[in-house]
């Protein structure tokens, strides 16, 4: 897998036309496109099918969190769209996670890989305390990643600061997808736990998710190329 394959660009954009233009500009410069809540709510499944049909591996990041039967049905529907990765919340519990994994497996050879959301990158220690979550952020991420692995999930989503903890706990075969990536000098925005690309890869991340540093750049393709170059340097 090349460094470019490891770069997922988050299409956090208001509509299909903007998403199509961005995907076209990034062709050959990024490995996957992520469709999250904003774009999916605006455009629905048709755009996901379109991107997948256009040859893009699609990361559907809708963070399913509901009763097991409802999540299983949602995963089946997502699998039919041809997505490569999808997310569910680890806080949904082992039964929900198992239902999601089993639903994905029913899709056969083209099944999506199921990733468990651990702790959102917008949370910090104080935020977890306000929610009544016990332990440190690292402890919580580790618990949830292990829960996901035991339920059969393919991997987890964790910030760069906890990637090493997840890798140590869950082993080399467990995928780690890391948001909160900010190139040197980029504003952190609402990401409380972030890092530059090289730090995240060194910590054990398999894929890096980048949104605003690419989308807001004067030349998104050049921004993606620069990020991939930083990733290649780190991987060497």
> CB under 8 Å to 46, separation ≥6 — which residues?
none
Q: Mark whether 188 is an active-site residue.
A: no
E strands, 81-195, where?
Answer: 85-89, 113-117, 155-157, 175-178
Provide the 10 A C-beta neighbour count for residue 219: 11
Of the listed 63, 142, 161, 193, which one is catalytic? 63
The answer to whether 203 touches 163, Cβ cutoff 8 Å, is: yes
How many angstroms separate the Cα of 149 from the Cα of each of 87, 110, 188? 14, 20, 30
DSSP codes, 128-156:
HHHTT--S-HHHHHHHHHHHHHHTT-SEE
Tell me the two tokens of residue 32: 């996957």
The answer to whether 235 touches 4, Cβ cutoff 8 Å, is: no
Question: Could you say which DSSP state residue 181 is in?
Answer: B
Cα gap 24→133, rounded to integer Å: 42
Tell me the two tokens of residue 130: 């306000």
> CB under 8 Å to 12, separation ≥6 — which residues?
36, 38, 39, 211, 212, 215
The residues annotated as belonging to the active site are 63
């Amino acid at each position: 897998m090349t460094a470019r394959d490891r770069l997922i660009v988050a299409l956090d954009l208001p509509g299909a036309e903007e998403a199509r233009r961005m995907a076209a500009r990034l062709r050959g410069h990024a490995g996957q496109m992520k469709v999250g809540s904003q774009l999916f709510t605006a455009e629905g499944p048709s755009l996901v099918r379109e991107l997948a049909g256009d040859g893009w591996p699609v990361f559907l990041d809708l963070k399913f969190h509901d009763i097991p039967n409802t999540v299983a049905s949602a995963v089946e529907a997502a699998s039919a769209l041809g997505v490569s990765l999808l997310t569910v919340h680890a806080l949904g519990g082992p039964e929900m996670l198992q239902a999601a994994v089993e639903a994905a497996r029913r899709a056969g050879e083209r099944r999506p890989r199921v990733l468990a959301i651990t702790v959102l990158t917008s949370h910090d220690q104080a935020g977890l305390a306000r929610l009544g979550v016990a332990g440190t952020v690292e402890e919580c991420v580790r618990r949830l990643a292990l829960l996901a692995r035991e339920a059969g999930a393919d991997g987890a989503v964790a910030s760069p600061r906890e990637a090493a903890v997840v890798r140590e706990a869950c082993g080399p075969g467990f995928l780690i997808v890391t948001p909160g990536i900010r190139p040197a000098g980029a504003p952190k925005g609402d990401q409380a736990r972030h890092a530059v690309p090289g730090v995240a890869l060194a910590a054990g991340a398999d894929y890096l998710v980048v949104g605003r540093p690419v989308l807001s750049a004067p030349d998104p393709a050049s921004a993606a190329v620069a990020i991939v170059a930083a990733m290649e340097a780190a991987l060497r």
